[in-house]
Chain A
Amino acid sequence: MTGRRLRRTSLYIPGTNPGMLANASVYGADSIILDLEDGVPVSEKDAARILVRNALRAIRYRGVEVTVRVNALCTPFGKDDFEEIIPMAPDAIRLPKCESAEDVRQSDALMSELESRNGIQPGTVQIIAITESASGGTKLSEIAAASPRIEALNYGAEDYTADIGAVRTKEGHELDDIRAKVIVAARIAGVQALDSVFGDVNDMDGLYAEAFRVRQLGFDGKSVIHPRQIPVVHSAFTPSEKEIKFAKRVMKAFHEAASRGSGVIALDGRMIDAPVVARAQKIIALAEAAGCLLIEG
């Protein structure tokens, strides 16, 4: 995790469902995705766009990041989505079919124009890029660096595996390649890495195992498609008691060394270097979010 906001879970809310749109912030996700793209039939694109725009205008979503998955600008719906949604200044848009730096730059330019026209500081609305093709998978570093708006990298598991000709499995080994690419590109750019959805809403053990594994790989969070998946993913992204205790000791040693003006940090006779401190900071942030910081260090 970078110093950015916590995004352990990002909950998809269909842009066609007024009841879920009204209650989107009560489920406990760190981020919500008001969806205008794949969750909306073509015949309802216009209705969803207006409904989500009105929801953003009228509903106060407290304690949660509000994002909108728009349709890509290369589709017949993208431009209209941007024109209705950007003036509402959500925290971020989720940009699907983001396969090159040019895709980001085009969106960035249109967003700046719309922000200026509506009295919003250009650059206010962030971008979470979603890559869904083999080609995009080879360009993640340039995508991540294409705009200061880029906040996180994400990938679409179904579209990506279809594009590379892989078979989808519950184990998810066909995603090893894209997951590694997303993590590395995100770390180079200093943005977050967000994992895709786990489709079986009845398999909580499978969800936990996958979420735990992607956290070990370095992901900062995971998209979810049902509210009941939220506590499971949060649990997988909650550090263990042992991890928290060690992280607190590392940070204590770090602060003591800093107060002495010493650049050398030692703990239990071992050198503690910058990556260990960074990892400890990440664990503390996750533990804080999960309400686990009371564990004695």
Chain B
Amino acid sequence: MNTERTGVSGSLESCDALVIVVLPSDSEGLEIEIDSPSIASFGEEMRKSVRETLESVGVFRGSVKIQDRGSLDCTLRARVETAARRALAGDVREKVNT
């Protein structure tokens, strides 16, 4: 049975980011999707921050979707960490394959 756990953090307010972390039991590696006005200039740095943050809390596989509204790096890292911790602590739900 495939299961997944989801954690959400942040908001779509200015200077913030809305982060959704999904931890499925059957994925390989990290999938990071970022929608940001800064993506052209700082996309690589943002991906690096997301990856480092997830690894710091023991997340090495799963998917992360980020809607950034001009957050500082420290804010992005905080939102990713919170969403990941919430996913790790969350209820396991059966994944619906469509």
Number of CB contacts from chain A to chain B under 8 A: 46
Q: Would A55 and B74 count as touching, CB distance under 8 A?
A: yes
Q: Would you list which residues of chain A between 7 and 26 have a CB under 8 Å from chain B?
A: 17-19, 21-22
Tally of contact residues, A, Cβ under 8 A? 15
Would you give the shortest CB distance from B87 to chain A, in whole angstroms?
12
Contacts of A17 in B (CB 8 A): 13
Secondary structure at the B interface, as helix, strand, loop or mixed, is helix
Q: Would you list which residues of chain B between 40 and 98 have a CB under 8 Å from chain A?
A: 71-75, 77-79, 81-82, 85-86
Please measure, in the bound complex, the distance between the C-alpha atom of A57 and the C-alpha atom of B53, giving whole angstroms.
Answer: 14
Residue B6 is within 8 A (CB to CB) of chain A in the complex: no
Tally of contact residues, B, Cβ under 8 A? 18
Q: Would B74 and A58 count as touching, CB distance under 8 A?
A: yes
Q: Annotate B9-35 by CB proximity to A: 1 below 8 A, 0 otherwise.
A: 110011110000000000000000000
Q: Annotate A44-65 by CB proximity to B: 1 below 8 A, 0 otherwise.
A: 0011001101110111000000
Give 19 CB contacts A-B under 8 Å.
A17-B13, A18-B71, A18-B78, A19-B13, A19-B15, A22-B72, A47-B10, A47-B79, A47-B82, A50-B82, A51-B78, A53-B78, A54-B74, A54-B75, A55-B74, A55-B75, A57-B74, A58-B74, A59-B74
Residues of A whose CB lies within 8 Å of any CB of B are: 17-19, 21-22, 46-47, 50-51, 53-55, 57-59
Task: A19-B16, A57-B74 given; name 14 further pairs at CB < 8 Å.
Answer: A17-B13, A18-B78, A19-B14, A19-B15, A22-B72, A22-B75, A47-B9, A47-B78, A50-B85, A51-B75, A51-B82, A55-B78, A58-B74, A59-B72
Residues of B whose CB lies within 8 Å of any CB of A are: 9-10, 13-16, 71-75, 77-79, 81-82, 85-86
